[in-house]
């Protein structure tokens, strides 16, 4: 939700700001803007994408070695030029960009209006700019202190960057609830600020992840970090491991396609070194450290949103099957507000690609207050969730830029598989022989995913062409493949704007069957594992009502081939591992349909990748 960048140093800021905003555009693309300080303050902003901002600034003065940029996902105020960031204070001296929501902005605005402030936008951010200036003038303090005092009055979430027309050597950043990374540049006094490390990695590998409630100030070339309570902190410098090609398209038309094709590697990376086939052991530190806790667990609660919630559902099936431990999977947004029962012998697993989703973070905080042990399964290293959880295992999917999640999902399922097996092993619920079988099959998965990618492309294109103009799609699956059906449907609606629903196959008869006619494509995940015969009957029921069946089947399954309209074959594997294979053609199907419908695949309308607002 909104991407922010900032620069101070000897170079010109503009190129970094624009490139950085392009890298962060996955966080929102309702409007874009930059501010540059070079004697005077120049602000350029526009509704639309970073490319529109680039057109706007063409031929204009973009000099300045201090600057900030913003790409917006609108919360307060419609996406238009005026509501685009940066925003100015009353005098125009202070300039601010913001990611997050100031929840008490209305009451702050009321007070400021009474004090004679005039506002030009509908945003909560402008209120903050005015508040800081009001404090600076009335308390007669410097900008840093004014920011600090203002943030003490603010309720809500923010990552902000501030520059001041009258302080030509000053850049301030602060965060609470929204992410912020500071890059230590190669030149003296050179610093970068961004919502995540992707804009920074091209320039430096040394970064400091800002902690909750911290304010950073670069002044006279020196970086100082303090808490909003005014306690000085020593910046901890991390070395970035991310590579530049990981965040570029590398010859693919879209990030989403690149990320789909990266899955053999991302799945492999997410399991690599985490178990030993030879001595049947796990090398996951979190499992070792929490062995006693895991042995005494009564229940696991999994929280997440969107695709991560779907991975959580697969996790539920996995953990209950292998570890025989009750699991509840909750939408983080519901969990946090419904006064759930949480016990100190619960393990709460948060699943999140970004590690920043506001609802998931809040659910974890609630669980922490109630004494549960928190475990994170996140993709972005240095993000908030891994930092507030007691333990965790990263998914090593690498940066995921396409807004619709693909490789992060399969990486999450991979890690959850290992977790389920690890917990099963600690609790004595799995035999050595079964563990060996699972490890052997897991090792085959990257190769099998590659096989699916190599073999299904033409088929998926043909199906996409035939159904690209339909209004509705139904996805059905059973057992492990019910979440796959949900995920397939979500992917299609997210990027092609076709209405799609995922259902447990057996539930079809309780409602969705009424929708089936000759125009209704039904994607059925029907591998020769699990509940094959039952799902086969569902396919017959669809055909009896003239529905169009697109079946994902185990290779060589002639029985379904003989009645389905289209089949996509995947290699045979363990029932529990089918989601890792069956998901792939569904991702490709939504991708190709969206491309054929001329949709913006990587940046679907109204969505954002990192949802740092509730």
- For position 389 contacting ligand G6P by CB under 6 A, the verdict is no
DSSP character at residue 177: B
| String of DSSP letters for 518-541 | TT-EEEEEE-SSSSHHHHHHHHHH
Q: Which is nearer to ligand G6P, 119 or 331 (CB)?
A: 331
Residue 529: Cβ within 10 Å count = 17
Q: Which of 33, 183, 199, 306 binds ligand G6P (CB under 6 A)?
A: 306
Residue 539: Cβ within 10 Å count = 22
Min separation Cβ 186 and ligand G6P, Å: 31
Q: Which of 163, 449, 609, 613 binds ligand G6P (CB under 6 A)?
A: 609
Q: Which stretch binds ligand G6P (CB under 6 A): 157-165, 271-279, 306-314, 452-460?
A: 306-314
**Residue 204 in contact with residue 28, Cβ under 8 Å?**
no
- For position 305 contacting ligand G6P by CB under 6 A, the verdict is yes
Number of residues that bind ligand G6P (CB under 6 A): 16
Question: Using CA atoms, how far apart are residues 336 and 325, in angstroms rounded to an integer?
Answer: 23
Name the token pair of 247: 């965040």
Name the token pair of 287: 């499992």
Min separation Cβ 400 and ligand G6P, Å: 9
Q: Which is nearer to ligand G6P, 252 or 331 (CB)?
A: 331
Residue 522: Cβ within 10 Å count = 29
- Name the active-site residue from 109, 176, 491, 609: 609
Min separation Cβ 520 and ligand G6P, Å: 26
Q: Which stretch binds ligand G6P (CB under 6 A): 93-101, 290-298, 348-356, 465-473?
A: 348-356
- For position 403 contacting ligand G6P by CB under 6 A, the verdict is yes
**Residue 250 in contact with residue 258, Cβ under 8 Å?**
yes
- For position 496 contacting ligand G6P by CB under 6 A, the verdict is no
Residue 295: Cβ within 10 Å count = 11
Comparing CA positions, the residue from 150, 151, 127 lying closest to residue 213 is 151
Min separation Cβ 405 and ligand G6P, Å: 4
Q: What are phi and psi of 182, to 5 degrees?
A: -110, 130
Question: Using CA atoms, how far apart are residues 504 and 323, in angstroms rounded to an integer?
Answer: 23
For 552, the 3-state DSSP assignment is strand
- For position 352 contacting ligand G6P by CB under 6 A, the verdict is yes
Q: Which is nearer to ligand G6P, 200 or 401 (CB)?
A: 401
Q: What strands, in cross-sheet order, belong to the sheet with 373-378? A: 327-331, 299-304, 346-352, 373-378, 391-392
Comparing CA positions, the residue from 71, 77, 76, 57 lying closest to residue 14 is 57
Binding mask 550-589 for ligand G6P (x = CB under 6 A): ----------------------------------------
Min separation Cβ 601 and ligand G6P, Å: 13
N residues, the chain: 614
Q: Which is nearer to ligand G6P, 65 or 357 (CB)?
A: 357
Q: Which stretch binds ligand G6P (CB under 6 A): 100-108, 263-271, 336-344, 399-407?
A: 399-407
Q: Which stretch binds ligand G6P (CB under 6 A): 74-82, 166-174, 352-360, 421-429?
A: 352-360
Q: Which is nearer to ligand G6P, 98 or 609 (CB)?
A: 609
What residues are paired with 472 via a beta bridge? Answer: 499
To 5 degrees, how large is the angle CA 28–CA 33–CA 36? 140
Min separation Cβ 548 and ligand G6P, Å: 28
- For position 611 contacting ligand G6P by CB under 6 A, the verdict is yes
> Does 534 qualify as catalytic in the annotation?
no
Q: Print burial letters for 179-197: b (CB count within 10 Å at least 16), e (below 16).
A: bbbbbbbeeebbbbbbbbb
Min separation Cβ 403 and ligand G6P, Å: 5
User: Which residue's CB comes closest to ligand G6P?
Assistant: 306
- For position 260 contacting ligand G6P by CB under 6 A, the verdict is no
> Does 456 qualify as catalytic in the annotation?
no
Comparing CA positions, the residue from 368, 362, 392, 366 lying closest to residue 380 is 392
- For position 590 contacting ligand G6P by CB under 6 A, the verdict is no
Question: Using CA atoms, how far apart are residues 137 and 453, in angstroms rounded to an integer?
Answer: 62
Q: Which stretch binds ligand G6P (CB under 6 A): 185-193, 223-231, 271-279, 398-406?
A: 398-406
Q: Which is nearer to ligand G6P, 333 or 548 (CB)?
A: 333
- For position 99 contacting ligand G6P by CB under 6 A, the verdict is no
Q: What are phi and psi of 91, to 5 degrees?
A: -80, -15
Q: Which stretch binds ligand G6P (CB under 6 A): 264-272, 295-303, 313-321, 351-359?
A: 351-359
Name the token pair of 88: 């100015």
**Residue 481 in contact with residue 579, Cβ under 8 Å?**
yes
Binding mask 353-372 for ligand G6P (x = CB under 6 A): xx--x--x------------
| String of DSSP letters for 466-522 | HHTT-SEEEEEE-TTHHHHHHHHHHHHHHHH--EEEEEEGGGGGGTGGGG-STT-EE
Q: Which is nearer to ligand G6P, 130 or 254 (CB)?
A: 254
- For position 307 contacting ligand G6P by CB under 6 A, the verdict is yes
- Name the active-site residue from 2, 95, 305, 599: 2
Question: Using CA atoms, how far apart are residues 361 and 365, in angstroms rounded to an integer?
Answer: 6
Min separation Cβ 614 and ligand G6P, Å: 12
Name the token pair of 64: 């300045």
Q: Kindly give the interhelix angle for 306-323 and 481-496, rounded to the nearest 10 degrees.
A: 170
Q: Which is nearer to ligand G6P, 75 or 357 (CB)?
A: 357
Residues found near ligand G6P in the complex (CB under 6 A): 305-308, 352-354, 357, 360, 403-405, 607, 609-611
Q: Please identify every residue annotated as catalytic.
A: 2, 609
């Amino acid at each position: 939700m909104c991407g922010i960048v900032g620069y101070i140093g000897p170079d010109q800021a503009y190129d970094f700001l624009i490139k950085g905003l392009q890298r962060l555009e996955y966080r929102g693309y309702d409007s874009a803007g930059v501010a540059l300080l070079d004697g005077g303050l120049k602000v350029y902003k526009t509704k639309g994408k970073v490319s529109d901002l680039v057109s706007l600034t063409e031929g204009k003065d973009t000099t300045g070695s201090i600057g900030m940029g913003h790409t917006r996902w609108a919360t307060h105020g419609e996406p238009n030029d005026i509501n685009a960031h940066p925003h100015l204070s009353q005098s125009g001296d202070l300039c601010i960009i913001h990611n997050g929501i100031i929840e008490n902005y209305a009451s702050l605005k009321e007070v400021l209006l009474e004090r004679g402030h005039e506002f030009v936008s509908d945003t909560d951010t402008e209120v903050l700019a005015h508040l800081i200036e009001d404090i600076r003038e009335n308390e007669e303090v410097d900008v840093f202190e004014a920011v600090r005092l203002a943030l003490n009055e603010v309720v809500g979430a923010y990552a902000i960057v501030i520059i001041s027309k009258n302080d030509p050597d000053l850049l301030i950043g602060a965060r609470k609830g929204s992410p912020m990374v500071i890059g230590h540049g190669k030149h003296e006094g050179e610093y970068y600020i961004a919502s995540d490390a992707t804009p920074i990695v091209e320039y430096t590998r040394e970064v400091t992840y800002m902690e909750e409630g911290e304010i950073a100030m670069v002044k006279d070339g020196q970086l100082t970090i303090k808490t909003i309570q005014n306690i000085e902190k020593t910046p901890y410098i991390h070395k970035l491991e991310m590579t530049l090609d990981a965040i570029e398209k590398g010859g693919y038309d879209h990030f989403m396609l690149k990320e789909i094709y990266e899955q053999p590697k991302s799945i492999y990376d997410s399991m690599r070194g985490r178990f030993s086939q030879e001595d049947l052991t796990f090398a996951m530190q979190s499992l070792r450290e929490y062995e006693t806790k895991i042995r005494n667990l009564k229940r696991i609660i999994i929280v997440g949103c969107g695709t991560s919630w779907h991975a959580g559902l697969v996790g539920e099936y996995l953990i209950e099957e292998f570890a025989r431990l009750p699991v509840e999977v909750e939408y983080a947004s519901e969990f946090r507000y419904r006064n759930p029962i949480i016990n100190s012998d619960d393990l709460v697993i948060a699943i999140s690609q970004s590690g920043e989703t506001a609802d998931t973070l809040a659910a974890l905080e609630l669980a922490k207050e109630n004494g549960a042990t928190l475990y994170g399964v996140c993709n972005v290293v240095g993000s908030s969730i891994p930092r507030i959880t007691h333990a965790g295992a990263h998914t090593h999917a690498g940066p995921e830029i396409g807004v619709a999640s693909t490789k992060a999902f399969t990486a999450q399922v991979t890690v959850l598989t290992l977790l389920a097996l690890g917990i099963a092993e600690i609790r004595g619920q799995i035999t050595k022989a079964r563990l060996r079988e699972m490890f052997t099959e897991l090792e085959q998965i990257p190769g099998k995913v590659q096989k699916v990618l190599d073999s299904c492309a033409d088929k998926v294109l043909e199906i996409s062409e035939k159904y690209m103009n339909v209004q509705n799609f139904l996805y059905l699956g059973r057992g492990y493949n019910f979440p796959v059906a949900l995920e397939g449907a979500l992917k299609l609606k997210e990027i092609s704007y076709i209405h799609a629903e995922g259902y447990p196959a057996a539930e079809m008869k309780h409602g969705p069957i009424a929708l089936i006619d000759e125009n209704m494509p039904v994607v059925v995940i029907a591998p020769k594992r699990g509940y094959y015969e039952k799902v086969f009957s569902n396919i017959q029921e669809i055909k009896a009502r003239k529905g169009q069946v697109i079946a994902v089947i185990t290779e060589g399954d002639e029985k379904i081939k003989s009645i389905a309209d289209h089949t996509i074959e995947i290699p045979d594997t363990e029932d529990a591992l089918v989601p890792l294979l069956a998901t792939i053609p569904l991702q490709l199907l939504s991708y190709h349909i969206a491309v054929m419908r001329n949709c913006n695949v990587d940046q679907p309308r109204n969505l954002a990748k990192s949802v740092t607002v509730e």
